[in-house]
Amino acid sequence: MTAVTTTTVQLGPGVIGHNDLTFAEVEAVARHGARVELTPAALAALGRGRATVDRLAAAPTPAYGISTGFGALATRHIDPELRAALQRSLIRSHAAGMGPLVETEVIRALMLLRLKTLASGHTGVRPIVAETMAALLNSGITPAVREYGSLGCSGDLAPLAHVALVLMGEGEVIGADGKPTETAAVLIEQGISPLVLEPKEGLALINGTDGMLGMLILALLDFSRLLKVADLTAAMSVEAQLGTDRVFLPELHAIRPHPGQAASAANLLALLKDSGVVASHRGPQGSPTECNRVQDAYSLRCAPQVAGAARDTLEHAATIARRELDSIIDNPVVLLGEDRVESNGNFHGAPVAFALDFLAIAAAEVGSIAERRTDRMLDVTRSHGLPPFLADDPGVDSGLMIAQYTQAALVSENKRLANPASVDSIPSSAMQEDHVSMGWSAARKLRASLGNLARILTVELVTAARALDLRAPLQPAPGTAAAVAALRRRAVGGPGPDRYLSVELRAAEDAVRDGSVLAAVEEAVGALR
């Protein structure tokens, strides 16, 4: 989590289809420590929802999740004196995660999205439950959640249970040293009283798609930024390989009207505008309508078609995420205004899981075409006059040969990660939960895929920058020159015999991830689409 922001995100009860929570606000809380605040309207909705639950809890007729067991044990009626123990038992038994710790930003996103649903009043929890969740977020307390435990159906049960355990004053949180530590002392230090859960509250805290949705929203933001970087590195590769920019003209993309393709082509034209390198191989009179390079390799010529398809995939996934962000996910759910509670299947993560898997396919393809462009710059038979592997002294110096090995390994990994998780299902809970979405797994592998894509594009960026240096005295376009200059400010230069390439690649990766390269480019050419 980066430096704490002064932003405060307000959570109201919302209206289905018109929730005010935005992707940017999710990121602000998850990554930048923004505070959250429950509005008076949210507290009122919480009170109304709780009144419905209290009425059903007092009734002699069993109500699922309120006066019964759960899952395959839902047929047992639980006596009132055992219901508090039932809530504790539910959370303790479901907090069964294993494996490495999940990233803080994911847990904060998960907590915020669960809090958003609680604030609707449709879950039937008391206001104090939502207020305590908000207090955890505002105090910077991050529950220790483990990698494995969610099947993406009945919500992200195990991850959410680990959060609920902390609300009860149990389990572990992430300490200042990044390691798990006991919860109780941390709550005392922050002045937060642990909860004693009442009927319905345990189930309400764990029955949501919040983990997979949080990761989807963060992935959408990351992928959107990386697609701009992909257009930048493609433009630099086109320029470095003496490619033509005429294939990016808007009239060519208007006759195949995919929005993402048009946006990518427009970016490439903007980035290549006023390029001395491109101008050097125009027709004999230097006419802008003539160029002797009209059949570049597909990895250059079709860059907008591939990156554009990824953009359109991202927009589809964003539509799914916005709908899910507007949703109330709980089972059973309180129908406010009708004074009743109904069981449902809205916890199934299929809509989110499908979107996550689709994005992993797109990310793999964006990385794949970038690697092909990189390889062409390093191959003396296809690079149009560049030295082998862009080396200072080929033979003594291997240049960027092994950087492409690393890139190829990452591309291959992303192809494996593109295999959909959502086509798998494994029964659980004595066949009560006999079909599951695997949405959490889809989200985890997408995070890995986008991390790899950032590195793949970094290798192309460093390679193209080196190739453009070697085209001197020809001058690159202002946009691509700004990218080269941004790398130089990070001490990233062409590989020589005395350079440690891994250090340079990691410095360039930092410049990609922190947005400094993209910021420098957009300062030169204006905002990219």
* Active site members: 64
Phi, psi angles (nearest 5°) of residue 346? -70, -10
Exposed/middle/buried for 77, CB within 10 Å: 0-12, 13-18, 19+?
exposed
Q: Classify residue 335 by its DSSP letter.
A: E
DSSP string, 408-449: HHHHHHHHHHTS-STT----BTTTTB-----HHHHHHHHHHH
In whole angstroms, give the CA distance from residue 463 to residue 401.
Answer: 10
In whole angstroms, give the CA distance from residue 181 to residue 174.
Answer: 6
CB 446 within 8 A of CB 360: yes
In whole angstroms, give the CA distance from residue 75 to residue 288.
Answer: 77
| Pairing, β 8-11 against β 35-38 | parallel
Which tokens belong to 323? 């709908």
Residues of 359-373 as b/e, b for ≥16 C-beta within 10 angstroms?
bbbbbbbbbbbbbeb
Length in residues, the chain: 529
CB 101 within 8 A of CB 126: no
Residues 6+ apart with CB under 8 A from 243: 237, 278, 293, 296, 300, 301
Phi, psi angles (nearest 5°) of residue 299? -65, -25
Which tokens belong to 11? 């959570």
